Amino acid sequence: MEDSSLDPMSVFRPPIVRSAGAALDRSLFTKRIPIAAARVLDVKNVSKYRAQLEKSKDLLKLDRLANVRPDPDASLASKGGKCLLLKPEVKSGVPTTWSPILQEAVKADELGVVDYDLVLDYNYWNYYDIITSILPEDAQEEIPVGFAVVGHVAHLNLREDYLPYKHLIAEIIADKNAAVRTVINKIDDVGTHSEYRTFSYEVLVGEDDMNVEIREGDCTFKFDYSKVYWNSRLQTEHKRLVDSFKPGEVVCDVMAGVGPFACPAGKKGVFVWANDLNPDSYASLKDAITRNKLTNFVRPFNADGHAFIRFAADDLLSLTSDNLNTITLPPKPRSRHAPASTRMPPPQTITIPPTISHYVMNLPASAISFLPAFAGLYDGNEKLFEPYAQRKLPMVHVHCFSTKSDDNVRETREICERIGVELGCVMNPGDGDGEVLVREVRDVAPKKRMFCASFRLPSEVAYRKRA
């Protein structure tokens, strides 16, 4: 029996069901709670008294719980009778526990205060409620609440302490997330299983079906999650960078994956040279380009990233020299409401710029080591850029891992030093030309953080003689 003398609302907590690794018994979570209810004698007054009893603090207010219910008397309920659930401090036979508003309404014969058996069951409580009721108290220091959802797959990364409860945790997650059909647990680090940033996993609930479909950045992606890299927690980072690209610019996405940067950028009229070494990612990238009607803007490649950095710049220049740097877009369909005499607009011709505006390098474990490939990127093409032309050298956005601290000062300095070593020049923190702006992206472990370092490619690197 729960002691509600200190906290009357504690009666609405789920039953404690400690079971170390046992099967989930949902029936154990059914709980009958005796409370009081205000019988509304004329259903036309339900809204009126709901508002008044909420103001007087008589009304029961719980997340996910409707406090307007059928009357507990079955005969009255069959005629449409309603009642309002009252908080546990209000007792049906003790008028001194009623507010003046409730007392006046009863005296006016518009409300009656009656007993009500409130039944809460497994379906009512959320994941956190259920899991804290099941796990032993000594295992609740850091409840496993974080998981990624990729299409219909929920992806766990459980600490060793919680492995004895992994099936319970997975079942509850599947129960409480309608879109989830399969729950998996990662059993090694990303990249351990394959150079393509995939990982080994075990299926805890559902079928081993990793073919998922998701929407992000107004684009649809379909892929086999077991064969490609995808991280739903990077959605904000994807949007942040894509928002910084301008229509008509060229972006080189060196480690494009299935296209979470490339396809949304293409949607806004950015030209993207998108590459990934993984053949499965490349296949899914091509599918996303076709599926989202981006063939005019996003070009897929399956090559080594080191070589692709220079190839993309050279390939773009070759289009200009061969007069292949224009594309013709079909006219937009005429509005249904436009007069029949309205002429179709002419096709639109767009010229692809000869130089790249941004490089994206989202391979945080090793992307900085790819930076030597920028040496000599535009060797012999200095007159394409300032001060000879109104173009700037590309911005480079390189993702990386470092330690974590409250202010990131130590990490920023360390990242700048690593970038400088790879480029062969001094790179200092800052947001001006010749400086590196380091942004925090997300924490990936208790002592590990992901960053994005953005800088304009130094001229001394870009115009260096190619080796």
Contact call for residues 219 and 292 (beta carbons, < 8 A): yes
Distance in angstroms (rounded) separating the CA atoms of residues 25 and 12: 19
Dig out the tokens for 15 from the structure: 């039953």
Q: Is 123 annotated as a binding residue?
A: no
What lies within 8 Å, CB to CB, of 462 at 6+ separation is 374, 376, 377, 378, 379, 393
* The residue type at 192: T
Q: Is 218 annotated as a binding residue?
A: no
Q: Is 304 annotated as a binding residue?
A: yes
CA distances from 70 to 11, 67, 77, 150, 273 (A): 22, 10, 5, 40, 62
Strand partners, 442: 450
CA distances from 273 to 352, 356, 364, 451 (A): 12, 9, 20, 23
Q: Is 276 annotated as a binding residue?
A: yes
Q: Is 208 annotated as a binding residue?
A: no
> Residues of 363-385 as b/e, b for ≥16 C-beta within 10 angstroms?
bbeebbebbbbbbbbbeeeeebb
Dig out the tokens for 343 from the structure: 């002429």
At residue 227, what are phi and psi to the nearest 5 degrees? -115, -10
Q: Is 115 annotated as a binding residue?
A: no
- The three-state (H, E, C) secondary structure of 204-226, written as one string: EECCCCCEEEEEECCEEEEEECC
Contact call for residues 202 and 230 (beta carbons, < 8 A): no
Q: What is the CA radius of gyration of the chain?
A: 31
- Which DSSP string do the residues of 127-170 spell out, in sequence order? HHHHHHHHS-GGG-TT-----EEETTEEEE---GGGGGGHHHHH
**48-52 long-range CB contacts below 8 Å, 24 or more apart?**
49/84, 49/105, 49/110, 49/111, 50/84, 52/101, 52/105
Binding-site sequence positions: 238, 276-277, 304-305, 362
Binding-site sequence positions for S-adenosyl-L-methionine: 238, 276-277, 304-305, 362
